[in-house]
């Protein structure tokens, strides 16, 4: 029987006769379109689409998907147009073929950013119709099975790409058999020698353990039958890459990997799963810490089973999976289980809801990420989650990647919760936002209406949603803060040219925006604040774009007033730590904004080039923000002196950000980083510290990090 006949026989087993007839037409159409074409292996090209369709038939996918699989290369590789496919087989089939054709046009190059951009396109295709990626995975699986005709370099490239992206996507969609075969084939092409050695060792082990396995299987079967529970018992062998991965991650030899062979018990309902678990725990002793209940808490890809490891005869561990028939369907077919034995009444199952949510979250991060490489990193994080399961105060379960923090949890609940979070309670106890989540944690997020994301969060969040939302919020804040400062800088430049800002009309601004390519005035202001454009140059351009050129006559302009709430648009130099009351000067640094130094800062005089970028700045009298300052105390080396100093600082209403010390014989030098409001506040603190008998000398340190 030919492959084409076998395909028709397979679809006849679950599709209606009229659907089978349409598939037969698509098969004939594809055969005619590819007539005379050969694969690199020398086989007729039609063998490929038939093989792709046959990979999908065990998943019982609908007729449209099977037809699209048969036609997926006709638009790309023949003279047939997509409009012709639509008129012959209907728009839904043509849409699937078009989505696949766009994916097939992707040329995976060695440049990572090009590859990343291509995966963005793939995700968009997945989001439109998940069947597109199902066909693409089947296409990739058949290509992996027939890689022999490719060059060694090409084989390795395709195998690495499959291991990094396609196999994890298959796993994320719950396609267990496709996921495992893709991993095994990638392993075979990336490490052929290791694959061969491990394969031979596995065959030998299988022969050696045959009698032991049969004895265990018979014992399990007998115990379940004695209790009148209907069950199917299957032997289950770890796939090669699974064994290799375990050896690598746990530094084991092959002989040390005990759980190569296990058993799967399939029963009729969930209560029977727990009954069987109890029977097996009575038959063989369970290994502590090796039980997992994925029925009560399913995996992110909706996988459900009870997992337990038992001490078997001869001291060998036995892995057992216990699940229902429905759970088994989802475990094997994943997202495709929606089409498996589908009826008109079948609702969208939990897996489809989760898949949709996952795709939406990735699309959200895609829309907020301008950097393709950054997006690919987000995708990889989501494809290799290794989940922990965390509870909300109301008992809802959230799956998070291992290493996720309270901030990741907050963003997974809702973006607004993440943006406004200030603290967390983990198991009713206050915890820092960077605390890592553990299985079973109950987490409550504390929010404040005026809170906003902290750039430091980016150093420890791990989920793509949290990272993209934090970046988006910071960019928005950055634009608002920078544009406010930039407007003040531009007004100062206009004033120095003798131009009243009220004389600059919308016509001049519209012309300037057109000339510069900016969309909004705020972009121009932000560029000025960040040093990307010079305020004086923009001021002159605006003057020239008026009805008449304003003659330049410089007028003395006042300093830029520092309010203290400009955020990232204004930075205070770490070399001198300026505080209100200090004489200050500012410099515009490209991409960083306005950097404020004290007048006597040593770093200031190392490079006074580019004087046009230096600005006169002054403190606002109503400033309320606190500022960091460094002080140095030389104290007598006596017990309790640090506590006395800390108490004096607290009494003076200041917070200690950091403290360290050095011993020099009878004296100790204490270095404090404090938060102060201004120079008067600092003077009060230093006066309090001088009142401590053990304090020998106290000074402010202005160049601590210079």
* pLDDT at residue 121 is higher than 50: yes
Residue with tokens 């969609």: 173
Question: Highest mean pLDDT: which of 15-24, 208-217, 455-464?
Answer: 15-24
- Residue 142: the pLDDT is 92
Q: What is the mean pLDDT of residues 201-229?
A: 82
Residues 149 and 12 in one domain: yes
Q: d(Cα 355, Cα 173) in Å, to the nearest integer? A: 7
Q: Give the confidence band of 274 by pLDDT, cuts at 50, 70, 90.
A: very high
Residue 78's nearest CA partner among 44, 30, 39, 42 is: 30
pLDDT score of 564: 56
> How many domains does the structure of the chain reveal?
4
Distances (CA, A) of 385 to 246, 388, 403, 515: 17, 9, 9, 47
Helix 130-145 × helix 152-161 angle, to 10°: 150
In a domain, 589, yes or no: yes
Provide the CA 526 distance to its chain's centre, in angstroms: 29
Q: Report phi then psi at 283, rounded to 5.
A: -75, -50
Band of residue 125 on the pLDDT scale cut at 50, 70, 90: low
Is residue 374 in some structural domain? no
**Domain C-terminal end among 619, 641, 669:** 619
d(CA 528, CA 539): 11
Q: Which pLDDT score is estimated for 106?
A: 47
The DSSP 8-state label assigned to residue 265 in this structure reads E
Together in a domain, 73 and 147: yes
What is the spatial distance between Cα 239 and Cα 604, in angstroms, rounded to a whole number?
A: 64
Q: What is the pLDDT of residue 118?
A: 57
C-alpha–C-alpha distance, residues 291 and 79, integer Å: 57
611 — pLDDT class (breaks 50, 70, 90): very low
Range among 92-96, 662-666, 679-683 with highest mean pLDDT value? 679-683
Are residues 94 and 102 in contact, defined by beta-carbon separation less than 8 angstroms? no
Pairing of the two strands 421-426 and 397-401: unpaired
List strands edge to edge, sheet with 667-676. Answer: 655-664, 667-676, 627-636, 695-701
**Structure confidence at residue 114 (pLDDT):** 53
SS3 state of residue 571: strand
Same domain? For 490 and 573 the reply is yes
| pLDDT reading at 306 higher than 90 | yes
pLDDT average, residue stretch 480-491: 75
Using the 3D structure, point to which of 290, 311, 338 is the last residue of a domain.
338
Q: What is the mean pLDDT of residues 443-451?
A: 86
Lowest mean pLDDT among 105-109, 137-141, 358-362: 105-109
Residue where a domain stops, chosen among 338, 362, 395: 338
Same domain for 152 and 15: yes
Going by pLDDT thresholds of 50, 70 and 90, the confidence category of residue 577 is: confident
Instruction: State yes or no: pLDDT of 256 exceeds 50.
Output: yes
When comparing pLDDT for 449 and 349, which is higher? 449
Co-location of 215 and 163 in the same domain: no
| Strand-pair category, 429-431 with 317-324 | unpaired
| Residue 548 placed within a domain | yes
Q: What is the pLDDT of residues 518-541, one digit of tens each?
A: 777 877 887 776 666 767 777 777
CATH no. for residue 91?
Answer: 1.10.3210.10
In a domain, 466, yes or no: no
610 and 660 both lie in a single domain: no
pLDDT confidence band for 317 (50 / 70 / 90): confident
Mean pLDDT of all residues in the chain?
79
Confidence of residue 703 (pLDDT cuts 50, 70, 90): low
Q: What are the tens digits of pLDDT across the range 45-103?
A: 889 999 999 998 888 888 999 999 998 888 877 888 888 888 898 988 888 888 776 54
| Residues contacting 247, CB < 8 A, separation 6+ | 253, 254, 256, 257
What separation in angstroms does the CA of 27 have from each of 50, 89, 210? 8, 12, 43
Domain that holds residue 331: 197-338
* Beta pairing partners, 572: 596
Can you read off the two tokens belonging to residue 427? 């198991």
How many Å apart are CA 213 and CA 206, to the nearest integer? 9
CA-to-CA separations, 544 to 489, 502, 511, 527, 539, in angstroms, rounded: 19, 15, 11, 20, 9
Yes or no: say if 462 and 381 are a contact pair by the CB < 8 Å rule.
yes
220-224, 271-275, 438-442: the lowest-pLDDT one:
438-442
Three-state secondary structure readout of 134-194:
HHHHHHHHHHHHCHHHCCHHHHHHHHHHHHHHHHHHHHHCCCHHHHHHHHHHHHHHHCHHH
- Whether residues 289 and 250 share a domain: the answer is yes
Q: For position 300, which CATH number holds?
A: 3.30.460.10
Asked if residue 161 and residue 28 are part of one domain, the reply reads yes
3-state secondary structure 617-671: EEECCCCCCCEEEEEEEEEECCCCHHHHHHHHHHHCCCEEEEEEEEEECCEEEEE
Is residue 467 assigned to a domain?
no
Same structural domain, 72 and 172: yes
pLDDT band at 336 (very low <50, low <70, confident <90, very high): low
CATH of the domain at 668: 3.30.70.260
**Cβ atoms of residues 465 and 412 within 8 Å:** yes
Q: Are residues 560 and 660 in the same domain?
A: no
Residue 58 sits in the same domain as residue 190 = yes
Average confidence (pLDDT) over 234-251? 81
Q: Which residue has the tokens 């006395």?
A: 644
Residue 290 lies in a domain: yes
SS3 content of the chain, % helix, strand, coil (to 5): 55, 15, 30
Burial 520-547 (b: 16+ CB within 10 A, else e): ebbbbbbbbbbbebbbbebbbbbbebee
- Evaluate whether residue 422 is within a structural domain: no
Residues 138 and 255 in one domain: no
- Report how far residue 9's alpha carbon sits from residue 21's, in angstroms, rounded to the nearest whole number: 12
CB contact at 8 A, 308 and 280: yes
Residue tagged 């399990």 (tokens):
220
Q: How many CB atoms lie within 10 A of CB 360?
A: 12
Predicted pLDDT at 259: 64
591: left (phi over 0), alpha (psi -120 to 50) or beta: left
* 288-297, 373-382, 548-557, 630-639: range with lowest mean pLDDT: 548-557
Q: What pLDDT score does 288 carry?
A: 86
Helices (H), 191-303: 192-208, 210-226, 240-250, 270-283
Q: Which residues are catalytic?
A: 76-77
More confident residue, 357 or 705: 357
Predicted pLDDT of residue 280: 92
pLDDT band at 402, cuts 50/70/90?
confident
Least confident of 243-247, 474-478, 624-628: 474-478
Specify if 433 maps to a domain: no
Whether the per-residue pLDDT at 12 is higher than 60: the answer is yes
């Amino acid at each position: 029987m030919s492959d084409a006949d076998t395909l028709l026989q397979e679809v006849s087993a679950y599709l209606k006769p009229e659907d089978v007839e349409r598939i037969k037409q698509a098969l004939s159409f594809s055969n005619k379109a590819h007539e005379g074409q050969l694969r690199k292996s020398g086989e007729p090209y039609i063998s490929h689409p038939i093989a792709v369709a046959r990979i999908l038939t065990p998943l019982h996918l609908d007729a449209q998907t099977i037809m699209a699989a048969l036609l997926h290369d006709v638009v790309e590789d023949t003279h047939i147009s997509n409009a012709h496919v639509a008129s012959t087989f209907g728009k839904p089939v043509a849409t699937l073929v078009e989505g696949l054709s766009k994916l097939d046009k992707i040329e995976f190059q060695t440049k990572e950013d090009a590859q990343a951009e291509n995966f963005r396109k793939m995700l968009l295709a997945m989001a439109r119709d998940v069947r597109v990626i199902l066909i693409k995975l089947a296409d990739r699986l058949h290509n992996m099975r027939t890689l022999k005709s490719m060059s060694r370099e090409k084989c390795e490239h395709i195998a690495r790409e499959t291991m990094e992206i396609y196999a994890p996507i298959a796993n994320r969609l719950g396609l267990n058999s496709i996921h495992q075969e893709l991993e095994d084939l990638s392993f075979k092409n990336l490490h052929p020698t290791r694959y061969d050695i491990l394969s031979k060792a596995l065959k030998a082990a299988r022969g050696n353990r045959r009698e032991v396995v049969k004895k265990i299987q018979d014992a399990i079967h007998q115990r379940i039958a004695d209790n009148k529970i209907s069950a199917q018992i299957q032997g289950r062998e770890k796939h090669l890459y699974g064994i290799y991965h375990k050896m690598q991650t746990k530094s084991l030899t092959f002989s040390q990997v005990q759980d190569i062979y296990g058993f799967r018990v399939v029963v009729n309902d969930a209560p029977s799963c727990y009954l069987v678990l109890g029977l097996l725990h009575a038959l063989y002793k369970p290994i502590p810490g090796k039980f997992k209940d994925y029925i009560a808490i399913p995996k992110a890809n909706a996988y459900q089973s009870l997992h337990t490891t038992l001490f078997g005869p001869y001291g060998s561990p036995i892995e057992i999976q216990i699940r229902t028939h429905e759970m088994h369907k989802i475990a094997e077919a994943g997202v495709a289980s929606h089409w498996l034995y589908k009826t008109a009444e079948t609702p969208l199952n939990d897996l489809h809801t989760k898949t949709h949510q996952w795709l939406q979250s990735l699309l959200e991060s895609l829309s907020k990420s301008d950097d393709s490489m950054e997006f690919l990193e987000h995708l990889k994080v989501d494809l290799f989650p290794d989940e922990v399961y965390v509870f909300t105060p109301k008992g809802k379960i959230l799956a998070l990647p291992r290493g996720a923090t309270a901030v990741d949890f907050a963003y997974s609940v809702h973006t607004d919760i993440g943006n406004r979070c200030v603290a967390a309670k983990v198991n009713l106890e206050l915890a820092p936002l960077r605390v890592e989540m553990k299985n079973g944690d109950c987490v409550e997020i504390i929010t404040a209406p005026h809170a906003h994301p902290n750039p430091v969060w980016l150093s420890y969040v791990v989920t793509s949603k949290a990272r993209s939302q934090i970046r988006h919020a910071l960019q928005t804040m950055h634009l608002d803060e920078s544009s406010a400062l930039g407007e003040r800088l531009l007004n100062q430049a206009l004033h120095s040219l003798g131009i009243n800002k009220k004389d600059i009309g919308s016509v001049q601004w519209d012309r300037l925006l057109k000339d510069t390519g900016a969309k909004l005035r705020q972009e121009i202001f932000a560029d000025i604040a960040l040093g990307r454009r010079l305020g004086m140059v923009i001021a002159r351009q605006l003057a020239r774009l008026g009805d008449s050129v304003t003659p330049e006559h410089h007028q003395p302009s006042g300093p830029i007033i520092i309010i203290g709430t400009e955020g990232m648009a204004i930075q205070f130099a770490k070399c001198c730590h300026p505080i209100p009351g200090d004489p200050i000067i500012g410099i515009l640094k490209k991409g960083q904004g306005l950097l404020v130094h004290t007048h006597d800062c040593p770093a200031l005089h190392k490079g006074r080039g580019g004087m046009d970028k230096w600005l006169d700045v002054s403190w606002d009298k109503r400033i309320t923000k606190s500022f960091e300052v460094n002080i140095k105390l030389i104290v007598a080396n006596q017990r309790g002196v640090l506590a006395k100093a800390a108490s004096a600082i607290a009494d003076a209403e200041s917070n200690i950000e950091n403290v360290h010390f050095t011993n020099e014989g009878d004296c100790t030098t204490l270095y404090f980083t404090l938060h102060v409001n201004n120079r008067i506040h600092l003077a009060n603190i230093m006066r309090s510290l001088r009142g401590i008998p053990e304090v020998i000398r106290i000074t402010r340190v202005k160049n601590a990090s210079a």
